[in-house]
Amino acid sequence: MKFIKPKDINNLYEIIDNIDRQYLLAGGTDINVQIKNGIIRNPNIIYINHLKELSGIEEENDSILIGSTTSFKDIIDSRIIKRHIPLIHSSLQNFASPLLQTSATIGGNIANGSPTADVIPILLALDAKLEICSKISCREVFLKDFFIGYKKNVMSNNELITKIIVAKNAEQKYQTFYKKVGSRNSLAIAKVAIAGLKKVENEKIMNIKLAVGSLNEYPRRLFKVEEYIMGKTLIEIDFNKVNEYLQQEITPISDLRSDKEYRYHVCVNLIRTFLNE
């Protein structure tokens, strides 16, 4: 195993452009476990948590930019986040534990790509984008287009996530919802997680955004369910139809934390709860 600490951001881009089998170490709360358990063997580890260009939260025109190595503690404590995107502030309160929140980073949570990653459904519901950069260029990718399979994403070996971009008005005029169902409140991995935004006018649900975690090989939006619900009042919604579309969009599995039937029913009940609120 080789450990590299780039001297600055340009040096980081040079390094990732030239080394093949590599992992970035931000907070280390996922990768250290994977190294210890032998899931990753003899990697080149590149430390990125000291690079100030990758950290911090700022406002730019109509967007909030969150640096990829910003810790969950800094996100939860941020006045900018509380003011403009309170859904992020309130939803992350039960992320891991206070100790983990000081090291775990938002970029690491996304890039690690676990189906249970807490922040991904929240950002999906907010239509967040990622800035992904290499030595040569930067590009923006909607988070909904980032994952292409279990722990697979559209990044090349010489790229990294530099920023998470959320529109300042992403939740303006929306009612928001987040529920993480785990075995306990702290240090719980989600059995099911759901984030939602809805805009209701004259009892009609004019817009709805629903994103789920722990129900597929990576967290995703429920676009078919959203499309069916949009434009309807509560009594016009046929839950047999919701079930029909949901079955096309989620593929829950049974594992040590829960079984697929439980996950499915909890998801349906949470959608119902959100619609009734």
Ligand X SMILES: Cc1cc2nc3c(=O)[nH]c(=O)nc-3n(C[C@H](O)[C@H](O)[C@H](O)COP(=O)(O)OP(=O)(O)OC[C@H]3O[C@@H](n4cnc5c(N)ncnc54)[C@H](O)[C@@H]3O)c2cc1C
Q: Is the dihedral of CA 230, 196, 147, 56 positive or negative?
A: positive
CA terminus-to-terminus distance, the chain = 52
Nearer to ligand X, 9 or 80 (CB): 9
| Secondary structure letter of residue 234 according to DSSP | G
Nearer to ligand X, 5 or 204 (CB): 5
Minimum CB–partner distance for residue 219 and ligand X (Å) = 10
Q: With respect to ligand X, which residue has the nearer C-beta, 123 or 160?
A: 160
- 3 state SS for 10-27: HHHHHHHHHCCCEEEECC
Which are the contacts of 238, defined by CB distance < 8 A and separation ≥ 6? none
Nearest distance in Å: CB 251, ligand X: 20
Helices within the chain (DSSP H only): 9-18, 31-36, 72-77, 79-84, 86-91, 98-103, 106-112, 119-125, 223-229, 239-249, 260-276
Rounded to a whole number of angstroms, the minimum distance from the CB of residue 30 to ligand X is: 3
> Which is nearer to ligand X, 33 or 253 (by Cβ)?
33
Residue of minimal Cβ distance to ligand X: 108
Where along the sequence are the contacts to ligand X (CB under 6 A)? 23-31, 33, 68, 95-96, 100, 103-105, 107-109, 111-112, 117-118, 160-161, 187
Spatial separation of the C-alpha atoms in residues 24 and 13, rounded to whole Å: 12
User: 101 or 205: whose CB is closer to ligand X?
Assistant: 101
CB of 236 to ligand X, least distance (A): 36
Least spacing, CB of residue 61 vs ligand X, in Å: 23
